[in-house]
Amino acid sequence: MSNNIVVYVADKVQFDGYQELVRKDVTITWVDSTLPLEEQVAQLQDAVVIIGDTQVEVASRCPNLKLIQGSSAGTDKMNLPALEDIGIKVANNGGANAIAVSEHTIALMMTVLRKLDIQFESVKERKWASKLVPDWWPYVHELTGSTVGIIGLGSIGRQVARRLAGWDCTLLYEDAVDHSPELEAELGVQRVTRDELLTRSDVVTLHVPLMEATRGMMSDREFGLMKKTAVLINTCRGPVVDEAALIRALNAKEIMAAGLDVLEVEPTPDDNPLIEMDNVSITPHVASVAQESWIRSREFAVQNPIRVANGGDPLAIVVPERP
C-alpha cells in the first residue's frame, strides 16, 4: 500500500528527525506552516494524516484527511470540537514525554524545597555556606515524608506517582477521569476532592490539559486553601494557573513557594514579578526535553499515522471538550 503522510511543521530540523524513522512504503513531505494558506492547502490535497498542529481553515480543505497527529501531549492550540465536526480526529503523543516531564517535575520539587538554584548561584559567586546570609535556610525542607497532591492522573501524573514511591510520600490525587482501584493500589494513591487535596498537601503538582474547565483552575480561592508551607509545581500549561493570583499568594505568604516550567505568556515579559522572587524557580518550558522523549515522540508520531493509512484505528485520540 502506498501511504502519503504529510508532516506539517515549520521546523525543518523536526522533519529531518522524522525522515530517519520512516519505512520505505511511507512518504513524508515537509509543508512549511508559514506559507500562505492557499499554498499549504495545495500541497496537502493527498494527505491522509498531518503531523503537527493544524488549524480548521487548513484541515477543512483537505478532502482525504483523517487524522491530525500531534507531537506533544498538549493539543490546546487546535479547535478540537470543530475538527471533530468535520470528521477529523486528533491524537497526542501517547505519553511519549511522560517520563521526561515527571522527572522534571520532581527536579522542580527538589529545587524549590532544597533551594538548589540559590545554592548553585552562590557557588558561581564564590560564596560558601559559611559566607552566606542564611535568610533562606528556614525554608529548606525534605521531600521525604511529605504529602504530595497530584491534580490529573494521566500518563504524566501516573509517572510522577511511580517516581515518588521511593520517597515515602503520602500521595493524594484528584482527576476528572475515574481510575480503577487496581491502578490506585499499584500507584499507592488515594483519591480525594480537590479541596481536600489542596488543604492536606505539602506539594501540589499540576498535570491537566489546558481547556476551558482547567483554565485558571488555581486562583485566589485555591491558594487560600493551601498550607502556608505548601509548594505549587506546574509543568502542564501556564494558563491553568491564574498568575496574578499566584503572585498575590506568594507575596502574602499564603503559600511558601512555586516551581514553574510554564507561564501564562511565553516568553514571559521581562517585568514579570515571578522572575525576581526568591521563592520561585522557573524553567523555560523544557520539561519534555530529553533525547529519549524526543525519540519516543517521533516514533509514535510516525507509527500512529502508518496505522491509520493502513486502515487501522489511531491511538491516543483526544476527546474534545464540549459545553
- Catalytic one of 237, 254, 296, 298: 237
- Catalytic one of 125, 142, 186, 266: 266
Contacts of 31 (CB under 8 A, 6+ apart): 6, 7, 8, 40, 43, 44
The residue count for the chain = 323
3-state secondary structure of 67: strand
Place of cell 499507592: 188
Give me the half-sphere count of Cα atoms (radius 13 Å) on the Cβ side of residue 146: 24
How far apart are alpha carbons 31 and 50 in whole angstroms? 10
- Which residue type, as a one-letter code, is found at position 237? R
Contacts of 256 (CB under 8 A, 6+ apart): 139, 227, 228, 229, 230, 231, 279
C-alpha distances out from residue 235 to 39, 80, 156, Å: 36, 22, 10
Known catalytic residue: 285? yes
Known catalytic residue: 84? no
- Catalytic one of 285, 299, 307, 321: 285
Known catalytic residue: 266? yes
Catalytic residues, which ones? Answer: 237, 266, 285
